Structure 1
Amino acid sequence: MSSRITEKPRQPGHGPELPMVMSVTSGKGGVGKTNISVNLAYCLSRMGRKVVLLDADLGLANVDILLGLAPKTNLFHLFHEGVELRQILLETPFGFSILPASSGISDMLALSTGQKLDLLEAMDYLEGKINYLIVDTGAGINDNVIYFNLAARERLLVLTTEPTSLTDAYALVKVMHLNHDVHRFRVVVNMAQSAKAAKAVFEKLYAACDHFLSGISLDFTGYVPTDPAVKNAVIRQKPFCHLTPDAPAAKKLMDLAQVIDSWEVDAKLDGNIKFFWKKLLFQEQPLA
């Protein structure tokens, strides 16, 4: 169990023919999960990768707000008005694209099987065009959160040093592991006072999982320190890695992006984007 972030050379296999689908998730709201997603997308795009960020908090979307954007269409229009995915896909001024969702619409809080099928067919448009699909899930353990996490190849679990964040992160890991046979999670500690504090909270989560859950793999991927530059960027509605690339939080986010870019894609798994949606669509218990 190591907390050291190493910068490895980028491994082959992350090209358009074999994209990485990664969820960024949390057991609790308010841990900065969406901010992590937005800035990871920015950092990976700065590294020359083609990135799409999917706002999968379907009823309480805020990726567009953090970026100061006002999309004319979102996933609600795909489901209810037959709008094509290419019309929803929005290129940002920061080098990556987003698939925005809606906010305050209860119909989006749980996807039906038919809606998942619509997504499966729509995602053909992205085939061969991107290196990363980052899925910013909602917080908690509701159906949408579980299903998007099941569909992703890698799961980046975001927590803070607050006790409630730790408890809720453990609850998400427990549900995913016991109910859905998910064994591996990557962990990032956000808003940490120090590297020591980040490592300490990770070790608490590790100890709880090791004691109560068998067969769990938790990897400490990194941490992001408390930094006033983050709040300032939120107010200005821009990625903090864009506004203040030399700030401590921005430097750690770039470290995190480099680590993620070194992850190998399992060649034994179907690597195309439809793999993500097929897993989402054909779960044993439909949402409808």
Structure 2
Amino acid sequence: MDQAKGLRKVVKNQALLKRKVNMTSGKKKLPKVIAVTSGKGGVGKTNIVGNMAVSLSRMGKRVVIIDADVGLANIDIIFNLRPEYNIRHVISSEKTLNQVMAESDHGIKILSGGSGFADLSQLNEGEKLNLLSEFETLSDQADIIFVDTGAGISSNVLYFNSACDECIVIATREPTAITDAYAMMKVMSQEYGTRYFKLIVNMVDSVADAKKVYAALSGALDKYLQNVVLEYVGHIPFDRQLQKAVQKRGLVMDTAPDSMAAKAIKEIAASLGNSPVRSDSNGNLTFFMSKVFQSAT
């Protein structure tokens, strides 16, 4: 893209962004932006995102998934999609966000991030402005936006988690999953000021087992950190139907919608979809990306 064309696009995007920011007044219903993350890999994070998205879509919600897992971007695989473009094509102004997003058979829009999200700290002001204005267009296309982040405490994971309205942590009863989930929440609270988390416990045999995981994490937060709240939103039981769907790179909401796991996911999704946005949430896409850029610098 030549320099003159790039300058004209920056000026156009600046005007668009200002206009859209002015439009995001209290009367406009904005999408809820939810990060789904984990302290370690292998806890079923991406599969949960996909199944919750399907459940919410069937409830009439407009859902967008942003795949921000730089190391293992694979949300498109479980939807059997092969996106031709990703966020890099938006950054370079080759494509708009709408042109880059793929759409599943369920009507869910998916933005493949891949390694494009790894270099946000290297973007110039024009590229940042372009991304801001592009992301703001999602405000009229979604009720809920899931940001599927990576696992662990890398900077990429943390600044995406901290930028969202809500941060859902996925854990299992494995000691390492519990320890790593606590470590991630500790870093987010101390370095990014995050004070509120939600917990989904995956692959447990009973409610009692799930509550033990919640008690361990909540107890550690109460003991070692101040003013950090962990809300238990539900558990997903160990279910062979879910395992079969994972092995086939599919979704249990499609292959076994009446299974125990599918019913549990549906209940959790309904709770998330119906819960109000917290009063301290800024709830718009411009703010979300602005926070991401701020954290990435």
The alignment's TM-score, normalised by the length of structure 2, stands at 0.85
Name the residue aligned to 1:239.
251
Against the structure 1 CA distance between its residues 152 and 247, is the aligned structure 2 distance closer, same or farther, given a 3 Å change threshold?
A: same
Structure ID, larger Rg = 2
Q: Which amino acid aligns with 1:61?
A: A
1:112 and 2:121 matched: yes
1:16–1:129 Cα contact (<8 Å) kept = no
Of the candidates 213, 218, 221, which is equivalent to residue 225 of structure 2?
213
Moved more, 171-180 or 237-246: 237-246
Consecutive unaligned residues of structure 2, counting only runs of 5 or more, are 1-26
Structure 1 residue 119: Cα displacement = 2.5
Task: Please give the per-residue CA displacement for 1:201-225, whole angstroms capped at 9, x wherever unaligned.
Answer: 1101111111111111010000001
1:1-288 aligned at under 5 Å gives the runs 17-80=29-92, 82-102=94-114, 105=115, 108-112=117-121, 114=123, 116-266=128-278, 269-283=281-295, 286=297
Cα RMSD, aligned residues only? 1.9
1:110–1:144 Cα contact (<8 Å) kept = no
SS at match of 1:109: helix
Using the alignment, how far apart are the partners of 1:188 and 1:205 within structure 2? Answer: 12
Identity of aligned residues (%): 40
SS at match of 1:258: helix
Using the alignment, how far apart are the partners of 2:258 and 2:280 within structure 1? Answer: 39
Consecutive unaligned residues of structure 1, counting only runs of 5 or more, are 1-14
Structure 1 residue 194: Cα displacement = 1.2
Q: Which amino acid aligns with 1:112?
A: S
Moved more, 74-83 or 168-177: 74-83
Task: Please give the per-residue CA displacement for 1:67-88, whole angstroms capped at 9, x wherever unaligned.
Answer: 1211111123223463211111
How many pairs does the alignment contain? Answer: 268
Using the alignment, how far apart are the partners of 1:101 and 1:269 within structure 2? Answer: 24
Q: Which one has a larger percent helix, Structure 1 or Structure 2?
A: 2
Structure 1 residue 268: Cα displacement = 6.2
The alignment's TM-score, normalised by the length of structure 1, stands at 0.87
Using the alignment, how far apart are the partners of 1:248 and 1:206 within structure 2? Answer: 26
Taking CA–CA contacts closer than 8 Å with sequence separation of 6 or more, which of the two structures ends up with the larger relative contact order? 1
